[in-house]
Structure 1
C-alpha cells in the first residue's frame, strides 16, 4: 500500500459512520497476528459475531471480551474502528476467507502501522508443542529495564492450567497490564494482550519453577524492554497513596476547564459544595483509565444521591479542544458516564502539565490518578494508578477499601 492510501484508510477508520453491514466474514473464533519488523508476533483472539443484526467483534483477552461494533465492509475491503485509543484495522478479505492488512494507531504527533493477518477457527494464541517445564502459577517479583538505566518494579501474578495455558497480569505502581493470556511450552513463556491501546507480548525462558530470565516485552511496532522475575509470595509495591502528593502547604485544588459539552466547570461551583468529590485524572489513550471509568461510572450511579460528585480531568494527545473532545466522547458513551469530563487543553506529553493545570500537586506521575476531596473542600487522598478487573482479588480489595473510605467521608459533618 502507498503511504497516502494508508493515511486515507486511517482517516476513514477514525471518521467513518457505522452503517454498512459486513458480509462474508466467517463467524466464530479467529487468531489475529500483529507482525513486528523484528519477527516478533503479538497474537490475540477475537470472535466474529452478529449483534442486533450488525457485525461485531469481541476481542478476547483471558476473562475479557471487548466489544468492537464499528465495522464497515465495501467489497473485499474491511475497516474496523476500535472503540477507544484512536486505532483500527484496514483489511482485505483473502480468497481463502482469511484477513490481511494493517493495524493503524494514531498517537497524535505520529501514526504507527503494523502488518496484520487473521486466520479463522484458530483458538490457540501461541502453540504448545512441548509439555510445560514448570508451573509459573503464583506471585513473582519482576523488574523491567527500559535500556536507558531506568527500571520499574512490578508484581507478576499468573495462573497456569494443566496443559500449559497461562493467564495473569503485571501490577505496577502506576497500574496493571490488564488481561494477559498465553502459554508455557517447554521452558518458553509467551503472554500477550491487545485492546487497541495496549498491544504487547511478553516472552521469557523458565530457568526453573522459581526464576525467569532472558525475558523481553515487545510493545507496538518497535518498543522493547527486558525483564527478569523471581518467585516471591510476599513482594509488595509502594503505597499507591504516596506516589503523587500535594505540595507542602497546599490542601485544596483550584481549577476551571471546559467540559466535552462545552460548559465551563470549576471545582468551586455550587454543585460541589458540601459534597464528597472525586477528581479523576485520565486520558482517552489510557487502557487503565478505561477500567477506572467503567468502575467510577457505576459507583457514581450508586452514590450520587448520597452526596458524591465526580469530575474527570482529561489530558489528551493534543492540546486542541475539539480533537480532545472527540476522543473522549466514546469513553463517555460506552460506559454511560453521567459526570463531566473536562478538557484541560494540555497534552499528556507536556512536561509542565501539572504546573499548568493542577499546580497544587507535586507532579502527575500516573494515569489514572484519583483525588478525593471531603465536604469542606480539603484533599484527603491522592491515589495513583488503578488495579482493574484483570487483577482479580486486587480489584475487589481496592473497591472495598475505596468505598469504605468514601462512606467515612460521607458520614463526616459538612
Structure 2
C-alpha cells in the first residue's frame, strides 16, 4: 500500500455526522475514531461506547446505521474489553493519554486473525469536498467467472453529500456498507461491525466508470476458501481492482448481468419431499415429519454462524417468525459449523442470544459436509440459501444468499419477495390424508 493511500485511510475515519449524546462518567464513553491494522492495511471505523465501569456497550456501524454489536464490555483499571461473541471477536485495549491501543482477535471460518487497534476521540472534521455524485446501482463485469460461476456483481451506493456508503452485492449477499469520505480524488471506504473488516478505494474515472480497489487484510487462502474456491484459484470477487459501470451503460454495452437469486440454486427434483434429519442442541434428532413442521409452510435455511450474510438474514428471519409463526410458518436452520466449534457451539449460542432467535436450530455438520447433507439441491454454493417448502413438503423456490439493508432497494425487493411467497404458500390447504377413488387413484383429503 502506498504512503498516500495509508494517509488517506488514516484521515477518512468514516462519517462526519454529529456524535450522539453518550452521557457517562466513564473515561472511555463517547465516540471514537478507531483503526484496525493488518498486513499493512488500515481499516478505519466508527466506535461508540456507552455506559459506565464494568457495564459498557460498544456500538458499531453498518453504513449510516448503528449496530449494537457487543455481547459484553467492560472498562476496569484502564483496560477496555469489548466482546463480540456472535462473531468470536474480542477487542482488548488500554487507555493511555486519552488514546486506546491494543489488539483485536477475530475468529473466521479458516483461522484466527489478529489486528492492531488504535482509537482517538472523534473530532468533527470541517466540511469537506462533497465529491462527485456516484449514488445508484453499478454493474461490475468480471474478467473471469467467480468460484460460483458469477460473471458480474453489483455495486450499490448511497450518498449523503460528502459521505458515501457502498456495498458490493454478489450471489451470496453483500459485503456490508463500506463507508467514508472523498479525499484527493478518491472515495476511501471502510467497514467493521465486529466481523468482515475491509477497505475499498473508489476512484471516479474520466470515462464515467468507477475503479474499485480492494485492499486485502487477511491471508489469500482464507479469503478464497471461505466461499468454496480452491486456494489460489482465480476468483473475481478477490481481484485487487474492479471496474464498475452504470446499469444503463453496462446493458448498452452488452455486459453479462449478475446471477438471479432465484435461479442460481434449484431443486434436483421439484416433485420430491424435502427431507432432513439432524440433531438439535440437546442431541435429539428432528426431521421434516416433526409436528412443528408437518403440514406447514417451512423455510429451511442452509446457514452457518461464521457467515456474515447469515447474521444479516437471521435478523430478518426473526421478524418473519414473529409475524407468521401463528399463521402456519415454521423456520428451521440447517446449521453448519466448523469442526472446532462443535464441542461448545460458543458462537452459535451467542448468535441465537444476540438476535433473539426462537425458530429451530439443527446441527447439520461442518461446512465441508453441506453437499453431502443437503443433496436435494443443485448448484448449492451460497451461504445462506433459503428453501421455501410448501405444505406438501415440496420445494417451491430456493433463494440464494441474502441482500442486507446495505443493499438498499435490493433488500427491500428481497423482503417483498419473501413476504409475497410466504403468504401465497400459507393460503394452500395442508394435506392430511389420502384415500382411494372409485377408479383406484389416490385422492388427497384437505382440511
Q: TM-score, normalised by structure 2?
A: 0.78
Q: Deviations for 1:158-199, whole angstroms, at most 9, x for unmatched residues? A: 13333x211232221111122221122242121111112210
**In the alignment, is the contact (CA less than 8 A) between 1:27 and 1:48 conserved in 2?**
yes
8 Å CA contact retained: 1:285, 1:316: yes
Query: What is residue 16 of structure 1 aligned with on the other side?
Result: none
For residue 148 of structure 1, report the CA deviation from its aligned partner.
9.4
1:220 aligns with 2:217: yes
For 1:109 and 1:177, the matched residues in 2 are separated by 18
Shift of 1:333: 1.4
Are 1:394 and 2:410 counterparts? yes
**Aligned mates of 2:381, 2:135 — CA distance in 1:** 31
1:372 aligned residue: 388
Q: Distance in 1 between the 2:56 and 2:75 partners?
A: 10
Alignment correspondent of 1:25: 27
Deviation string 1:340-361 (CA, Å, 9 cap, x unpaired) is 1111122x2x2x4212x11112
Q: Check whether the contact 1:244–1:361 (CA below 8 A) recurs between aligned residues.
A: yes
- What CA deviation, in whole Å up to 9, does each residue of 1:3-57 have, x standing for no partner? xxxxxxxxxxxxxxxxxxx98533221111011333x311110111128982111
How far apart, CA to CA, are the structure 1 residues paired with 2:124 and 2:154?
28
* SS of structure 2 residue aligned to 1:134: coil
SS in 2 for 1:243: coil
Cα displacement (A) at 1:61: 2.8
230-239 or 290-299, which deviates more: 230-239
Distance in 1 separating the partners of 2:270 and 2:62: 45
1:322-354 Cα offsets, whole Å, 9 max, x none, are 33x3221122112221111111122x2x2x421
Give how far 1:100 is off.
0.8
Q: Which residue in the other structure is 1:268 paired with?
A: 289
The higher radius of gyration belongs to 2
CA RMSD of aligned residues (A): 2.8
| Aligned residues between the structures | 381
Q: Report the Cα offset of residue 400 of structure 1.
A: 1.5
Alpha-carbon separation, structure 1, partners of 2:388 and 2:405: 21
Matched, 1:86 2:88: yes
Match of 1:9 in 2: none
In 1, the alpha carbon distance for the partners of 2:328 and 2:270 equals 28
Supply the distance in 2 between the matched residues of 1:409 and 1:252 (Cα, whole angstroms). Answer: 16
* Structure 1: tracts of 5 or more residues without a match: 1-21
Q: CA deviation at 1:102?
A: 0.9
Q: Measure the CA separation in 2 of the matches of 1:270 and 1:27.
A: 49
Q: What does residue 18 of structure 2 align with?
A: none
* Residue 353 (structure 1) aligns with: 370
1:280 to 291, 301, 322: 301
Mapped partners of 1:115, 1:241: distance in 2: 41
1:377 to 1:51, Cα distance in 2 relative to 1, 3 A: farther
Deviations 1:102-158 (A, max 9, x none): 11112355211111101112456xx987x3552212221124679999875211121
Q: CA separation in 2, counterparts of 1:142 and 1:408?
A: 34
Q: Which moved more, 1:169-178 or 1:153-162?
A: 153-162
Counterparts of 2:66 and 2:52, CA distance in 1: 14
Match of 2:327 in 1: 306
Q: Secondary structure at the match of 1:208?
A: coil
**Match in the other structure for 1:330:** 350
- Determine the C-alpha separation between the residues in 2 that align with 1:319 and 1:69: 21
Structural mapping, 1:253-264, within 5 Å: 253-264=274-285
C-alpha spacing 1:147/1:87, structure 2 compared with 1 (3 Å): farther
Q: Secondary structure at the match of 1:305?
A: helix
Cα distance in structure 1, aligned partners of 2:196 and 2:27 = 25
Return the alpha-carbon distance in structure 1 between the equivalents of residues 146 and 296 of structure 2.
45
The 3 A distance-change label for structure 1 pair 278 and 188 is same
The alpha-carbon deviation at position 72 of structure 1 amounts to 2.9
Aligned to 1:104: 105
Q: TM-score, structure 1 length as denominator?
A: 0.84
Provide the rounded CA distance (Å) in 2 between the counterparts of 1:31 and 1:290. 25
Decide whether the 8 Å contact of 2:299 with 2:386 is kept in 1: yes
Give the aligned partner of residue 362 of structure 2: 342
User: How far apart, CA to CA, are the structure 2 residues paired with 1:160 and 1:249?
Assistant: 43
SS at match of 2:397: strand
Per-residue CA deviations over 1:254-300 (Å, capped at 9, x if unaligned) read: 22111234432111213211100110111111221112111111111
Partner of 2:170: 172
> Aligned residue for 1:11?
none
